[in-house]
Amino acid sequence: MNGIRIFIDFGSTFTKMVAFDLESETVAGRVQVPSTVDRDITCGLEEAFAAISREVKVGALERKQAVACSSAAGGLRIVCVGLVPDYTTKAGRMAALGAGARIVGEYSFELSAEELAEIEEIAPDIVLLTGGTDGGNKKVLLYNASLLARSGREIRNVIVAGNKSAYDEIKSIFAGSDKKIIFTRNVMPELGVLDVDPANREIRELF
């Protein structure tokens, strides 16, 4: 491993890529290419990878570990719902931003009726539902799942990345719902331990 981490920004006009050397803590390469939002955004992504590869060695590992975000006016819009702001909600945000999404709302603890109405008004592409370490608190996760299952059609896609002990009950809660529900690994399976990549992949695959 050459200690290079790739950072990507998908903009409305340009796709920008920076290669950062983790060992020397310096920028090893920087490129920008026109964004290809009118056809397939990954075309511009591949052009950026080709361009930066002329400045620094970028292999399969560096591509896999790349971190992306979007500064475009549009983009994938996600609401993150978690248990505690400094833990599961923050971990959910990291998973969403790593997939190039734009965070349009963040909520913690049990959702109020007013907050649910706000989320419906936002009409996000995805609600990322997190909360609790594996085997830990599941009351809040189940409560929020029940509210989302009964929400309006503005909420269409829900990715669950919280306490796995609650998953069977959440499946029952969403049974018969018009929502698309996806389960993935907990973004914080243990206190202070992050596992955001599985949620990141589900977000990318859904959109």
Question: Facing residues of 78 across strands?
Answer: 103, 126
pTM above 0.85, yes or no: no
Between 3.30.420.40, 3.40.50.300, 3.10.690.10, 3.30.70.100, what CATH number should domain 4-70 receive?
Answer: 3.30.420.40
Which token pair is 26? 């310096």
Structural domain boundaries in the chain: 4-70, 77-206
Encode pLDDT of 80-98 as tens digits. Answer: 999 888 776 778 778 877 7
CB 127 within 8 A of CB 79: yes
- Nearest to residue 185, comparing CAs of 95, 99, 79? 95
Order across the sheet with 77-82: list the strands: 102-108, 77-82, 126-129, 157-160, 180-183
Identify the DSSP state of 191: T
- Nearest to residue 6, comparing CAs of 65, 93, 94? 65
CB 159 within 8 A of CB 126: yes
Q: H/E element holding 143?
A: helix 139-149
Residue 154: the pLDDT is 87
Identify the DSSP state of 74: S
CB 176 within 8 A of CB 121: no
Encode pLDDT of 33-54 as tens digits. Answer: 988 866 677 888 999 999 999 9
For residues 50 and 25, the model is more confident at 50
Q: Which CATH superfamily is domain 77-206 in?
A: Response regulator (3.40.50.2300)
Residue 1 has pLDDT above 50, yes or no: no
